[in-house]
Amino acid sequence: MRRTHQLVPLAAAALLLAACATGSSDDESDDATYDREAELSGALTVMGFGAVDEIASTRLDRAEEALGGDVDVELVEGDLDIQQFLSSVASGEPPEIIYADRKQIGTFASRGAIVPLTDCIDGEQVDTSVLRESALDQVTFADEIWAVPEFSLVQIVQANGDLLRQEGLTLDDVNGSDWDAVAEANRALMGRQGGDLSVIGYDTKLPEFLPLWAKANGADLISEDGRTAQLDDPAVVEALEFAVSVYDEQGGFSDVKAFRDSADFFGEGNQFASGTLGAMPMEQWYVSVLNDVSPQAPVVFDTFRDTDGEPLAFASGSAWAIPKGSANPEAACRFARVMTETESWVAAAQERVRLRGEKEGGIFTGLLTANEEADEQVRAMVEPSGEEKWDSAVTAQYDANDHTFSLPANPAGEEFETAWEDAVNRVLNGQQSPQEAMAQAQEEAQSALDAGWAEWEER
């Protein structure tokens, strides 16, 4: 029987450090023996995951079947509570498996909170050859794989086609390939009424999309080996200056954010349906939201593009990892394999297609995962919708998924992200110039990286 509990998600990333656990070794201990054909038993507590929709529940059913009736699966739902997880590792009573954000994996690995999956991958015959490189990079630390990547998130440009046409604009003006064109489109699309912002011309989605704008300008926030912060790179500063200037043209970030937050983002009165947003880069999952709640909205889509006009997306997503001290690592490994294997994704997609077919006007827009083989097979299941706007959204998201980059795993992932996000927020709040903010962030991030790598190398 599956029992479900709800945990309060951890809001402050800083608590990760306060609750940080240090493992006694870096290898898969507890005499775990992984064998795809072995009969398994015992308990399997899954932290950070819930069967919230048919994509999750279909794969969960397959995983439970593969584990056999002697394994009791218990879900601890809600986002992974980092403090509780690390405290459980420190106490020697962790869950058997966790569902985590891929950006957390390097930190968890360096702290000894999770184990490398070399033996797991070999014994359960996890096919890593089908995994997308950018996703695998996020879970590879010190030349070992520490988690099995699952869903993938990418950004595409989403815009109001009516507003574009009214101003004589096209998607080429807002897809990021020409920053001067974006700035001009922003000025043309934005609206004010009675002194207040009434239409957001362009939303650059700061602070979270700084890596995307920087990469579009030819810069990475961190070196490929995850050891050197590059936050004060002139190209990063230039990208930040531009993305902030788009808000400044509209009265400042506070005005844009207040108006953005007042929107019915997940409802039929969303910004596109109400004509109060011109364009923005946004994760691909929002396409399905728009199709569900406002199928008649005049939306148009394209891939986000770098300044050379090439498609680009900043990949992120989830992953399965086995905690240090897991009481049932064999079951955890099989669970991770089945949840992410091609057959499971295809079965889940088939169920979504079936359910969408029962809904009037419902369409299937595909799935994006870290499994390239599964993505290819699932994309073949996407039928033309009969509406160019939704078909173009599908094309855009799959093109984006084929042109991704990610930040490499490192032992200070949360601290590194906090450094640059805080810097962006200081600029948005008018506290510092982009150059000053990124110079401060560079020092903070590099200090955290140096300390993290030093601690890892001493172990």
Report pLDDT digits (tens) over 383-417: 988 889 999 999 999 999 999 999 999 999 999 99
Predicted confidence band at 60 (pLDDT cuts at 50, 70, 90)?
Answer: very high
Asked if the domains 4-153+317-348 and 155-314+407-458 are classified in one and the same CATH topology, the answer is: yes
> For 418, what's the count of Cα atoms within 13 Å in the CB-facing half-sphere?
16
pLDDT digits (tens, 9 = 90+) for 240-292: 999 999 999 999 999 999 999 999 999 999 999 999 999 999 999 999 999 99
Outline where 25-168 has alpha helix (H): 54-67, 82-91, 105-110, 118-123, 133-138, 161-166
Topology adopted by domain 155-314+407-458: D-Maltodextrin-Binding Protein; domain 2 (3.40.190)
Residue 446 and residue 369: Cα distance in Å, rounded? 31
Q: What are phi and psi of 371, to 5 degrees?
A: -100, 105
CATH of 4-153+317-348, one of 3.50.50.60, 3.40.640.10, 1.20.120.1760, 3.40.190.10: 3.40.190.10
Task: Delimit the domains of the chain by residue range.
Answer: 4-153+317-348, 155-314+407-458
Cα–Cα distance measured from residue 171 to residue 291, given in angstroms and rounded to the nearest whole number:
19
pTM of the model: 0.90
Spatial neighbors of 90 by CB under 8 A, at least 6 apart, are 19, 21, 22
